[in-house]
Amino acid sequence: MTVKTILLSVLATLAALLILALSVLLVQGVDRFQDAARAERSNQITASLLTASGHWAEERGFTNLALNAPNAAGTDVIAHIHALRTQADADYFAALNRLPQADIAANPRFSQQFDAAYARLKALRAQVDQELKLPRSARDPALLAAWFPAASAVIEQSQLSGIHYSSQTLNTTSVIAKDAIVRHNLWMMSEYAGRERGLLAGIISAGRPITPEQMNTLSEYRAHVQDGWNVVAHLQLRADEQAMLSGQMAQVRTGFFEDYETLRLRILAQGRAGEAYSLTAQEWFDQSTAAISLILDLEKGNALYVESRVQQQKRSEAGLLALCIFGLIAGVAAVAAAFWLVNRHVLYTMSNLNAIFDNATDGLITIDARGTIKSFNPACEAMFQRQARDVRGQNISILMPEPFHGEHVAREVTGLRKTGEVFPMELSVTRFELDDGVHFCGVLRDITKARMAEKDRQSLLEKLTESNTELERFAYAASHDMQEPIRMVMSFSQMVVQDYEARLDDKGREYLLVLSDSAHRLHTMVRELLQYARLGREGLTYGEVDLSDQLDHVKVNLSELIKDSGALISHDAMPHVRGNAVQLLRLLQNLISNAIKYQPQGRRPQVHVTVEERESDWLFGVRDNGLGIDEAYRQVIFEPFKRLHTHAHIKGVGFGLSICRKIVENHDGRIWVESAPDGGSIFYFTVSKIAPANRPAG
């Protein structure tokens, strides 16, 4: 068989593959055009579900406001609630009716879960209509407690359905995939902002201060809002997408995260301090609704952009179909011309093949049907530490250890260097024929380093898995086996105080007080222990964090402690860093709180936060004028349960600095303490300029 004949055969095969490839592209083009149309209909369904969720959220908040109002609701209020119900229900069921047209099957599980939540909501709606006619003092407390969760369940099920239906078209176009991310996070922002709106409206309407439990709930809501915005704000936008959405995103930044945030912080401060609220519940509800509407407007703007992109995709796919048809015709003509050219010229010379063979980075070796080595390129010489002239004419078995002589057709084999060293390698074999018979060409790659790295990764994975398993067992024991007995001790000690205090003498009452205080301290220790354990397991999202804003939040959170102690808090100009906002807030709050609390009697605390930019990280320092820390204890204090002062002197369980160390380690940094030149202590910690990768909950 001549080289010309071989080339003609190869060319014929390539021609067949070209025609096949163009045919496949044509079929795929038709499928992608249909998928784009399907994605357009799916986008309309998701938009209806988002609209329904928005109206349900308004119904939830407005109804919650009316239920917490002291007086019976007026007819206009009840009529507005009914209008929101009607619109939300109509939008949702209209979306379901579009499913068959979009060729999307309804999910029975989501339908069952929504039907159950919706039935619960309808039952509560009927009760709400009756209760709104009564003053608050005559309303059923159980209804007040059940309404908000029931409405939230319907909203959540609607959104899960929307995400599910959107996910069925994720393979059509990348803009639909990005839209699913944006919609989910914008919904999360509006949903938790709506929950915050409803909770604060009820508190303001009742004229009550904000309890610590409510403050924790509000903080969780705000963290969800911030996490959602971090995702949306940092998505890579196309130029046309940027032009279409930048204005609305700017309105969210200023109107929601600046103007509305100022109002929210003022209400929180008034609620924590037990002061009279500066707004009525209705005024708060209206202003928060206006702020949330900015997020909903961004949702609508994103939906409009997606719709325009899908239309563009449909036009593009139509053009691709025409191009594929033209390509088929041109391909046939090109193949005919190529056959004519091959008949006149040999496309490749032996010098070209030799150049490829000698300069290939992978090892290339050819053998005949008996296993005799015919060629051995320079990459093989380096791999086996043998010269080509020494191995040509030898059997292939000299390159493999004794047990593996017969494995030269396997995907992964073991090689043998001239020194006797055994090493792993990848081998792919191709059969070909020449005039003198059948031959084989092998492509070899040394994978020693890859296998060592894989072994190290596997070892690390096993250690991490074992560590996570122990941590899960520990968290379970702490939450179930320890907390319940503690709660029993607390509960029964309280019952003894209430029922038997009068029968006890002074010594008995003193013992009872010690018992109750110890139980509360133990409960706090277990709670802090769980918080410490979860720091290494919770899912973390890293983004740009303004530490100046975080310090402002710390001052708000510690306002009572700062006021009572007269502390002076100052700081250098704070940078933006890459990290997790919630954990960095907790870190700064723990260090500043300790600096205020650990002071000599009668001294006014002075705390200053410093910052220094270095090549690969930021160096922060929290300096105080407090008690100071002896050098012998500067490592011990970062261990759990380690305290240098008694609980009676300064409240605490010894977990604050342990939590700080965990947070700093999560940001690839370290933390330590030194003595200040003029007394007190300086807690230093670093934050890497390169944030770790986002990780899911472990």
What is the pLDDT at residue 498?
Answer: 77
- Tell me the CA distances in angstroms from 540 to 578, 579, 659, 691, one per residue in order: 12, 9, 15, 11
DSSP 293-305: HHHHHHHHHHHHH
What is the pLDDT at residue 360?
Answer: 82
Ranges in the chain annotated CATH 3.30.565.10? 539-698
* Cα distance between residue 64 and residue 195, in whole Å: 10
Average pLDDT over residues 300-321: 74
The answer to whether 298 and 229 are in contact (CB under 8 A) is: no
Neighbour count for residue 247 (Cβ, 10 Å) = 11
Ranges in the chain annotated CATH 3.30.450.20? 350-446
Q: What phi, psi does 481 have (nearest 5°)?
A: -80, -25
Which parts of 343-422 fold into alpha helices (H)? 350-359, 378-384, 388-391
Take residue 437 and report the two structure tokens written for it. 């018979």
The answer to whether 65 and 201 are in contact (CB under 8 A) is: yes
Q: Which DSSP state fits 372?
A: B
Strand ranges across the sheet with 671-675: 568-571, 606-613, 617-623, 681-688, 671-675
Residue 426 has pLDDT above 60, yes or no: yes
Q: What phi, psi does 640 have (nearest 5°)?
A: -60, 145
- Tell me the CA distances in angstroms from 298 to 186, 321, 625, one per residue in order: 8, 34, 48
* Confidence tier at 349 by pLDDT (50, 70, 90): low
* Cα distance between residue 565 and residue 599, in whole Å: 10
Long-range contacts of range 253-256, CB-CB < 8 Å, 24 or more positions apart? 255/290, 255/291, 255/294, 256/193, 256/291, 256/292, 256/294, 256/295
Residue 104 has pLDDT above 80, yes or no: no
pLDDT digits (tens, 9 = 90+) for 489-542: 778 777 877 777 777 787 887 777 777 767 766 666 666 565 655 565 455 678
Residue 280 has pLDDT above 70, yes or no: yes
Residue with tokens 């929307």: 162
The answer to whether 191 and 53 are in contact (CB under 8 A) is: yes
Residue 334 has pLDDT above 80, yes or no: no
3-class SS shares of the chain: helix, strand, coil, % to 5: 65, 10, 20
Q: Which of 66, 68, 72, 96 is nearest to 84 (CA)?
A: 66
The answer to whether 317 and 33 are in contact (CB under 8 A) is: yes
Tell how strand 412-416 and strand 422-434 pair up: antiparallel
User: Is it true that domain 539-698 has CATH number 3.30.565.10?
Assistant: yes
* Cα distance between residue 294 and residue 290, in whole Å: 7
Sign of the C-alpha dihedral computed for residues 48, 50, 53 and 54 taken in this order:
negative
Residue 205 has pLDDT above 70, yes or no: yes
What is the pLDDT at residue 294?
Answer: 92
Q: Which helix (H) or strand (E) holds 373?
A: strand 373-376
* Confidence tier at 340 by pLDDT (50, 70, 90): low
Query: Which residues 6+ apart lie within 8 Å of 269 measured at CB?
Result: 275, 556, 559
* Residues β-bridged to residue 540: 695
* Cα distance between residue 615 and residue 668, in whole Å: 14
pTM score: 0.36
* Confidence tier at 407 by pLDDT (50, 70, 90): very low
What is the pLDDT at residue 624?
Answer: 92
Q: What percent of the chain has pLDDT over 90?
A: 17
- Which has the higher per-residue pLDDT, 456 or 645? 456
Q: Which of 579, 586, 581 is nearest to 557 (CA)?
A: 586
Neighbour count for residue 529 (Cβ, 10 Å) = 20
pLDDT digits (tens, 9 = 90+) for 149-195: 888 888 877 777 766 666 555 444 555 556 667 777 887 888 889 88
Sign of the C-alpha dihedral computed for residues 595, 597, 603 and 605 taken in this order:
positive
Region class of 432: left (phi > 0), else alpha (psi between -120 and 50), else beta: beta
The full 3-state SS of 185-215, as one line of letters, equals HHHHHHHHHHHHHHHHHHHHHHCCCCCHHHH
Least confident piece of the model among 242-246, 528-532, 548-552, 650-654: 650-654
- Which has the higher per-residue pLDDT, 56 or 349? 56
Q: What is the dihedral of CA 418, 423, 428, 431, to 10 degrees?
A: 30
- Tell me the CA distances in angstroms from 146 to 53, 63, 134, 305, one per residue in order: 19, 12, 18, 38
Residue with tokens 């090549």: 615
Which parts of 168-280 fold into alpha helices (H)? 174-206, 212-233, 239-251, 261-273
* Residues β-bridged to residue 442: 365, 429
Q: Which residues of 14-30 are buried (b: 16+ CB within 10 A; e: fewer)?
A: ebeebeeebeebbeebe
Long-range contacts of range 211-216, CB-CB < 8 Å, 24 or more positions apart? 215/268, 215/271, 215/272
Classify 350-446 by CATH class. Answer: alpha beta
What is the pLDDT at residue 646?
Answer: 45
The answer to whether 6 and 350 are in contact (CB under 8 A) is: no
Average pLDDT over residues 81-106: 81
Q: Which of 38, 53, 41 is nearest to 184 (CA)?
A: 53
* Confidence tier at 29 by pLDDT (50, 70, 90): low
Neighbour count for residue 389 (Cβ, 10 Å) = 9
Residue 598 has pLDDT above 80, yes or no: yes
The answer to whether 350 and 419 are in contact (CB under 8 A) is: no
